[in-house]
Amino acid sequence: MAEMMKFKDLPYERAVYEEAEKEYHKVMEEFKAAKSGEEQFGVHKKYYALRNKINTMLTIARIRYDIDTADEFYSKENEYYDEIEPKLANLEVEYKKALYGSPYREYLEGKIGKVAFKNMELEMKSFDEKLIPLMQEENALKTKYDKIIAGAKIEWEGETLNLSLLRPYLTSNDRDVRRKAYEKYSAFFASWSEELDGIYDSLVKNRTEQAKQMGYKNYIELGYYRMNRNCYDQAMVENYRRQVKEYFVPFAEKMHDRRRQRLGLDKLSYIDESVYFLNGNPAPTGTPEEIMQAGQKMYSEMSAETKEFFDFMTENELFDVLGRKTKKAGGYMTSLPEYGAPFIFANFNGTSGDVDVITHECGHAFQGYLAAKDPIQEHWDITMETAEIHSMSMEFFTGKWFELFFGDRAGDYKVMQLEDAAIFIPYGCMVDEFQHIVYANPELTPEERKQEWMKLEKVYRPHMDYEEDAFFGKGGFWQKQHHIYRYPFYYIDYCLAQTCAFEYKVMMDEDYEKAWQSYLKLCRLSASGFFTDMLKEVGLESPFEDGCVEKIVKKLEEKTAV
């Protein structure tokens, strides 16, 4: 691995496609000419190095563009990678076809594992060179959506805010301020509604065409392959959503009613959706710098492994968390494979979401830091439902240290955290079911899609009242959910992971050390096993199994005494 330095000092050089193509073909020829499994595995390590070099440059460019979407140089680099990424994916598939068909398969499988070969099979089912023009168009459409969201300019009391910076006003303890903020929020989306409808309509048609060209009935099958669903299928997801409707929706509705009572309201409105206490949601007591210092203290005390991880992140400035006007919205963790380094991107805005970055995104980053020590890089390629367990469980494991961030409102934050996690699961399942409806019926008009969303609201969030809002009240709420545009079928992964994180919550409340050791084991297993098998190995139940969701809800009802 390359020697790490501060992120701002990392050298960048464009990964030129023509050069990458030559290097890939050279590795492929060498791989095919190898006379034994040992020889082929030696060549495979050269593939690791080549892929790491390209992905590191691509990731540095993407991060630097996200940090400042107005940066002319990295804006052009971002556009370049939008164009060549599908072609790079084609080179990957070409190499993996040789790997998959190797006469020394048994030896290689012993080295990199059965999961890796299953994932190769899915990758080959989900990609063909003929799709490149469509995938380039898809990338351009996603970037168009991102630019609209990142470019939001909302006038607020003499200031111009983007959506991230408006967020504190949407959760203000003053209901009039919340209403005014939501009116501005809704007006922004309404002003772009036609454009957002057009982008999504084009994305649905584009993805459907990709599926047809691959011989599939619709995009759902292709979408599952692209999400690396290597051990569960659509029927299992439907069964999980059925359990959520039966057990989690009624529980979540009780949580909403409990929140309504705390807020002293006769009826909840959409403007109250993210507010948990009459005196406002607990907010961090410190500055961004103090939040980071509290994070360092917390991870230093949690375990030797987390101390080493957070010190590494801090020393090398692998965080960019301050909100700025030209910065991309949202937050994420990504990796710089040449350096074995995670990177965390976020937009601090003075709300509890800032602390969620130090818990949730650091859960991802901690696992990524551990995984980078594994020489078998196929183990790094974790599927998303597993990845989200690492982050969502860390939110609960950090509970002992909440006073560092919230002072005397640490107890309130714990209440909010538990309720928020519980009410998320029905929403996440709604997002998933919406996408299944859309891609099963790609001929739906934008208006019909919005009607489908409103029908699902009645099933999954019956308490929701949009008060005839001109945009949200007409079924437009989903357009703020960037996963629907950018990452089709991703959202159910959050729900599955949150269900498993609740299992850890129940376990840690009974025996914290036992839960932590199980979690550490899961992080280290990474992608060496299939999701459902790894759950069993660390002592968790699969959310797909009948009875799992019901059992968790019963335990949560005991905790919340509702």
Overall average pLDDT of the 480-488 stretch = 95
* Amino acid 260: pLDDT: 97
* Amino acid 325: pLDDT: 81
> Does the structure show a pLDDT above 90 at 329?
no
Per-chain mean pLDDT for the chain: 95
Is residue 2 very low, low, confident or very high in pLDDT (cuts 50, 70, 90)? confident
16 and 123 share one domain: yes
155 and 121 share one domain: no
Residue 350 · residue 357 · CB < 8 Å: no
What does the pLDDT look like over 149-181, one tens digit per residue?
Answer: 988 999 999 999 989 889 889 999 999 999 999
Is residue 187 very low, low, confident or very high in pLDDT (cuts 50, 70, 90)? very high
Overall average pLDDT of the 484-503 stretch = 97
Residue 440 · residue 211 · CB < 8 Å: no
Q: How far apart are CA 381 and CA 55, in angstroms?
A: 13
110 and 170 share one domain: no
Evaluate whether residue 38 is within a structural domain. Answer: yes
What does the pLDDT look like over 391-447, one tens digit per residue?
Answer: 999 999 999 999 999 999 999 999 999 999 999 999 999 999 999 999 999 999 999
22 and 125 share one domain: yes
77 and 161 share one domain: no
* Amino acid 561: pLDDT: 67
Q: How far apart are CA 562 and CA 559, in angstroms?
A: 8
What does the pLDDT look like over 200-234, one tens digit per residue?
Answer: 999 999 999 999 999 999 999 999 999 999 999 99
Residue 298 · residue 441 · CB < 8 Å: no
> Does the structure show a pLDDT above 90 at 562?
no
Residue count of the chain, please give it. Answer: 562
119 and 163 share one domain: no
Overall average pLDDT of the 234-246 stretch = 98
Overall average pLDDT of the 90-95 stretch = 93
What does the pLDDT look like over 24-75, one tens digit per residue?
Answer: 999 999 999 999 999 999 999 999 999 999 999 999 999 999 999 999 999 9
79 and 183 share one domain: no
Q: How far apart are CA 124 and CA 232, in angstroms?
A: 18
11 and 60 share one domain: yes
SS3 state at 7: helix
Q: How far apart are CA 61 and CA 55, in angstroms?
A: 10
Interhelix angle 491-510/512-525, rounded to 10 degrees, is 140
17 and 122 share one domain: yes
Q: How far apart are CA 469 and CA 456, in angstroms?
A: 18
* Amino acid 150: pLDDT: 87
**Looking at beta carbons, which pairs linking 411-418 to residues 24 or more positions away fall under 8 Å?**
412/276, 412/277, 412/281, 412/282, 413/282, 413/352, 413/355, 415/276, 416/276, 416/277, 416/281, 416/282, 416/352, 418/505, 418/556, 418/559, 418/560
Q: In angstroms, how far is CA 96 from the centroid of its own chain? A: 26
Evaluate whether residue 548 is within a structural domain. Answer: no
Closest C-alpha to 329, from 152, 74, 76, 140: 152
Evaluate whether residue 396 is within a structural domain. Answer: no
* Amino acid 351: pLDDT: 86
Overall average pLDDT of the 268-284 stretch = 94
- Domain hosting 187: range is 151-191
Evaluate whether residue 34 is within a structural domain. Answer: yes
Overall average pLDDT of the 455-472 stretch = 96
Evaluate whether residue 178 is within a structural domain. Answer: yes
Evaluate whether residue 58 is within a structural domain. Answer: yes
What does the pLDDT look like over 339-353, one tens digit per residue?
Answer: 999 999 999 988 898
Is residue 476 very low, low, confident or very high in pLDDT (cuts 50, 70, 90)? very high
Evaluate whether residue 93 is within a structural domain. Answer: yes
Evaluate whether residue 60 is within a structural domain. Answer: yes
What does the pLDDT look like over 291-316, one tens digit per residue?
Answer: 999 999 999 999 999 999 999 999 99
Q: Which residues contact 255 (CB under 8 A, 6 or more apart)?
A: 419, 422, 423, 560, 562
14 and 119 share one domain: yes
Closest C-alpha to 11, from 78, 83, 60, 64: 60
Q: How many domains does the chain have?
A: 2
Overall average pLDDT of the 3-11 stretch = 95
Which of 143, 174, 191 is the last residue in one of the domains? 191
125 and 164 share one domain: no
- What is the separation, in whole angstroms, between the first and last Cα of the chain? 52
15 and 117 share one domain: yes
Closest C-alpha to 559, from 502, 514, 486: 502
> Does the structure show a pLDDT above 90 at 332?
yes
Is residue 477 very low, low, confident or very high in pLDDT (cuts 50, 70, 90)? very high
pTM value is 0.90
